[in-house]
A and B are shown apart, each in its own frame.
Chain A
Amino acid sequence: MSAAAKVGGGIATYLDERVGSNAGAKKNLRKVFPEHWSFMLGEIALYSFIILLLSGTYLTLFFKPSMTEVPYHGSYVPLQGVQMSEAYESTMNLSFDVRGGLLMRQIHHWSALIFVAAIVIHLMRIFFTGAFRKPRELNWLIGNGLLTLALIEGFCGYSLPDDLLSGTGLRIADGVLLSIPVVGTYVQFFLFGGEFPGEAVIPRMFTLHVLLIPGIMLALITMHLMLVVVQKHTQFPGPGRTNENVVGFPLMPVYMAKAGGFFFIVFGVCAVLSAVAQINPIWVYGPYIPDQITAGSQPDFYIGFLEGSLRATPNWETNLWGHTISWNVLIPGLILPGLMMTAMALYPFIEAFVTGDRREHHLLDRPRDAPVRTALGAMSLAFYLLLFINGGNDIIGYTFHIQINTITRLTQVALVVAPPIVFMITKRACLGLQRKDLARVLHGRETGIIKRLPNGEFIEVHEPISAELRYKLMARNAPLPLEAGPATDADGIPAPAQGLNKVRARMSRFWYADDLPKPTPEEYEELTSGHGHH
């Protein structure tokens, strides 16, 4: 032990004398991180990014980002002699003739799926617990940027092998670029170096995929984590856990072991998945040829919602003054995802405007305690999931023997009808859960003990809940709807920005008017003083 301490101390001293590292170490070596299972979601995203960097670097040692056509002479017999791009050929060689190459490819692909999935679920955790509130709005924006980049990065990545499936995806991307008004044709010609497919797009996407996008993502992830350190992690309310403190375990040793260990677990899971669950078998699809296609072509799951929106949009196209706008591609391919991302990015600022709340928030909300936020989130998720499901309408139709046309029509209707319904149900459910919490606080816990009173009446005995639970249930914020205030002051001078105040008041009513108020101590005393109630 003392030997390890001596070495550690020696290194620390060496570094400190050169860069003054002890000041930073003093703040961070025993930094407290609160514990909750949902705080691991962001970790999964971080670790799968590291796995992607490691496995991706290995892949670049063998992959040739070239679209030059060559005949295949590798050990996969069915494609012997077939003409294919060098990108496809080198991916085939990596899969069949490099020992461990297939494993690395599959680890890379699996961790990419886990990366995006973890980002999305992490983002949902942040949203539904209100962790995006001041002072964390900037980190929310960074996270949003990372999600967008992850989608583009993933799309570029799975397009690189130049197989029939990914080539089809690229063909659709080409159609989406062409739909951009005014400059679309030029954007497409410049990106592909000419007409589709050309010979430039794979090497260009390779540069984006291995250098530019991961470089930006690495910088953003570093900022993301630095902000977590500077702002300290949020925590759920609980006994002893307030807005002014952070309660949990120290970085050294507990989180070094837990977080470090968790990295190995995520990596290990990717490795085991890659051993037992085949992913992206490009040799089954064959090389890309623009006049060939397979039925049931599906992109990776995170592009599915775009596929679904392309399938669901009606065939609108306008032709005016010699120019064409294909809304049927432009809306689902670019405008809709753009709006979805923008709305998500702006939400913290909208909520801050509605509440007019300038305080720092380090205690997380339980989703039920912010019913309108939760309902808006659920509504957006419903919209997203409908698009996602419609992206697989052929698979669903085939599996369940439903006509594709029926699924598409139903999706079109549901995209309009379902979100408001989901909003209302979620909001009601949240308010119901608030009411249940209130009942537990004011009337106690149902013990299941039935007592017969002398007069013959049966009652169930309620037991007061613990002070800890009472605090936890009632620690919520209960914002009151804001009032616009009088339009003029006592002297008849119009109040400044009255129009804005009115908008804020209206929005605030929408957000908070139905919330259950927290009971006052007096109400609590009054209700709990006589214990005979039931």
Chain B
Amino acid sequence: MSDETNDGRGPHSDAAHPNGASHELAMPTADPFADPGLPHHVPRRTDVDERAAKRAERQVSALFTLSTLCTIGFVVAYVSIDKDEIIRVQTLGRVNALNFTLGLTLGGALLFIGIGAIHWARKLMNSEEIVDYRHPMKSSAQDTADVLVMAKAGAADSALPRRKMIWMSLAGAMAAFPITLLVPLRDLGPLPHRKLRETLWKDPARREIVHANGGARLRPDDLQVGSQISARPTGNVSLDDLAKAAILLVRLHPDEVQSKTQLDKGYQGIMAFSKICSHAGCPLGLYEHTTHHMLCPCHQSTFDLSRGGKVIFGPAARDLPQLAITVNSEGYLVARGDFDEPVGPSFWERG
């Protein structure tokens, strides 16, 4: 820090008030916009009336004492209130008694210290403003010249200006060595390979479609025309697999389905679409029975399930992938294979 700039001015800042600025405009000036200087200090009530000051002192002490009482209240609440107790509080409704009491007593313990300290500062501490002077941030010309001399000496001592080879090789080494910090990051995760292109439905043993809630196998009769449910592959599905394999099952009247290929991928008007939004990957959630529109609650991409999961609104660029289904020998709904295309958000290699 700049010691020398302060020389001879050290005590100035304390002594200068409140007339610190007045000497700058001592001479009468014709300029009507000149700085009239710091206004005179107006004493507060507590500066002139000892009784008011005493009162302020009592107020501050009372606030600090209240804080201590709140701290005691906090400890008492902590040991005495059951953690599961629910109380009814006006306007708040049912709240956890312990959380409510602990929060209020902690809040009181803190707030009363804060309010007390600020009240003290405002009422009793010296209210005369003081003036300090700024100095240009830049160092004095002498300092700069000295530094230049030192830097030159340092550079000369290092032999660098004459030994260019060192400079170049050092720059190369410094640029190269961070690679040693980056390379070990390679094992943070596996390479993508084809993982984003395949789902659990690829596995012939996992093609049976079960209800997302409860895992019951589904017969075509379980879905009435107009109904829509969430489903997943049978068995224990890991979250990673579920994030790609989750599907929506919808049953439309075959006349309502717009395209033949779509109908062919389904079974008697039952069709399976990926539940994962083709925009950012949220699961789709809001189905409108009359229009067959499926909405993503995250960014409101809307897909028309009667038109092959076509995007009709929102930021999603691609239609919902459809999973071809049929029934197995036992009459349960099964997938005929994997999706024809990757599900979920786009990625660079998707194509």
Contact = CB atoms under 8 A, between A and B. Distances in A.
B136 A261 contact: no
B13 interface: yes
Contacts of A232: 132, 134
A524 B32 contact: yes
Nearest to B185: A190
Contact of A291 (B111, B186, B230, B351): B230
Interface residues of B, number: 106
A172 B298 contact: yes
Nearest to B100: A275
A316 B311 CA distance: 12
Contact of B129 (A186, A248, A261, A441): A248
Contacts of B189: 189-194, 198, 200
Interface stretch (A10-18, A116-124, A307-315): A307-315
Contact of B103 (A182, A247, A272): A272
Contacts of A404: 300
A405 B205 CA distance: 42
A175 B345 CA distance: 6
B251 interface: no
B3 interface: yes
Contacts of A475: 33, 35
A3 interface: no
Contacts of B209: none
A389 to B, nearest CB: 14
B130 A247 contact: yes
Given A245-B20, A272-B107, A329-B280, A31 B132 contact: yes
B317 A316 contact: yes
B99 interface: yes
A311 B300 contact: yes
A97 interface: yes
B243 A30 contact: no
A461 interface: no
Interface in A236-291: 239-250, 253-254, 257-258, 260-269, 271-276, 278, 288-291
Interface stretch (B112-120, B148-156, B322-330): B112-120
Nearest to B213: A292
- For the side of the interface on A, what is the size category? 35 or more
B26 to A, nearest CB: 13
Contacts of B13: 30, 32
Interface stretch (B169-177, B217-225, B258-266, B281-289): B281-289
Interface stretch (A317-325, A366-374, A420-428, A503-511): A317-325
Contact of A325 (B14, B99, B190, B348): B348
Contacts, number: 356
B108 interface: yes
Contact of B349 (A257, A265, A297, A323): A323
Interface string B303-315: 0000000010111
Given A258-B121, A311-B300, A393-B300, A245 B21 contact: yes
B130 A248 contact: yes
Interface of B: 1, 3, 6, 10, 13-14, 20-22, 24, 30-39, 78, 83-84, 92, 95-96, 98-104, 106-118, 120-121, 125-126, 129-134, 136-137, 185-186, 188-192, 195-196, 212, 230, 232, 239-240, 242-244, 246, 275-276, 279-286, 297-301, 311, 313-318, 344-351
The 5 A-B pairs with the shortest beta carbon distances in the complex, nearest first, are A275-B103, A240-B38, A261-B117, A175-B280, A264-B114
Interface of A: 23-24, 26-27, 30-32, 35, 75, 96-97, 99-100, 102-103, 106, 135, 168, 171-172, 174-176, 178-186, 188-198, 200, 230-232, 239-250, 253-254, 257-258, 260-269, 271-276, 278, 288-297, 307, 310-317, 319, 322-326, 328-329, 332, 360, 362, 393-394, 404-405, 408, 441, 467-468, 470-471, 474-475, 518, 521, 524-525, 528
